[in-house]
Amino acid sequence: MRRSSTALPILVLMLSACVSGTSSDPTDLSPGITTAGARDVSETRVLDGDTFVVDLDDEAIEVRLLGINTPERDECQGSQARTEAIEIVEGARISLTGNEYDQFGRLLAYVFADDVLVNAELVESGLALAQSNDHPRVAEFKDLEEKAYEAGSGLWNPEACPPAADANVVISELKADAPGPDNENPNGEFVVVKNRGDTTVDLSGWTIRDESSRHRYTFGAFSLAAGEHVTVYSGSGEDTDRDLYWAAGDPVWSNGGDTAYLLDPSGNYRFRLAHIG
């Protein structure tokens, strides 16, 4: 369910009184529309597809859509995700439910526009990644991402952001759970990238990322011959023609569930491989 509009991103929200500044088990979140005890707030800015700011009692509160991650505004399909979020909520009665906060102090919430769950709509449109973090609708969101992926919608169109690289490169293996404590064995985590094509591929500018907004590895000058593979380790080491090192500084891949994505230099999502925790 979508609404087309060219209006500026200004609307009225109904914010559930569960916003208390305290943290609790995320499974306590109600997936239903909650209006009892709600308070009116005004949205002042839509930052990107999954984040907006509201004014509540003369205090600006940043809200992050729970369980999804849209591209940043300067990334492939980032502006489309922001526009889609604005169009979904424009003119609708908005309510949200959530009482968890992330490490940046943002309220994590399911946001509804009338009877449309905005979080789910963005995933279904192919404009958001479904995250594997624990929340009541994780299975639903993952299913919606799979359908969008199969349909080639949004981010999953391999030519969403031209020019698209002409290459048959895949993630053939994801080792997310290192032997022993992850922070003591960063090179126990790794991703294997393979060239399934018939010609050498220049991987310069290609990127590996996880479901979060933090972890990115971008290849420097590097070519991968036909049929060959390269392993990218999360820790540090000396790069060779078969082994590369992320030097991420902390564990990259979540043992509880994560997905590795491979993007070409234009930001097109060319492949994904999930780790089920």
Backbone phi, psi, residue 69, to 5°? -145, 115
pLDDT in tens, the chain (277 residues): 443 332 222 233 333 333 333 333 333 333 443 433 334 445 556 789 999 776 666 778 888 999 999 999 899 999 999 999 999 988 777 777 878 899 999 989 888 888 889 999 999 999 999 999 889 999 999 999 999 999 999 999 999 999 999 999 999 999 999 999 999 999 999 999 999 999 999 999 999 999 998 899 999 999 999 999 999 999 999 999 999 999 999 999 999 999 999 999 999 999 999 998 7
| CB distance 123 to 130 below 8 Å | yes
Q: CA neighbours within 13 Å on the CB side: how many for 269? A: 27
Spatial separation of the C-alpha atoms in residues 42 and 54, rounded to whole Å: 6
Give per-residue pLDDT as tens, 155-198.
Answer: 999 999 999 999 999 999 999 999 999 999 999 999 999 999 99
Domain(s) of CATH 2.40.50.90: residues in the chain:
12-156
**CATH, domain range 169-276:** 2.60.40.1260
| CB distance 245 to 255 below 8 Å | no
pTM of the model: 0.83
> Which structure tokens are listed for 26?
């995320």
CATH number for 12-156: choose from 3.20.20.210, 3.40.50.1370, 1.10.10.10, 2.40.50.90.
2.40.50.90
On average, the pLDDT of the chain sits at 84
Which residue has tokens 């700011």?
53
> Which structure tokens are listed for 237?
């080491």
Domain(s) of CATH 2.60.40.1260: residues in the chain:
169-276
The answer, yes or no, to whether the previous bond of 163 is cis (omega within 30 of 0) is yes
Sequence-distant (6+) residues with CB within 8 A of 222 are: 202, 203, 204, 230, 244
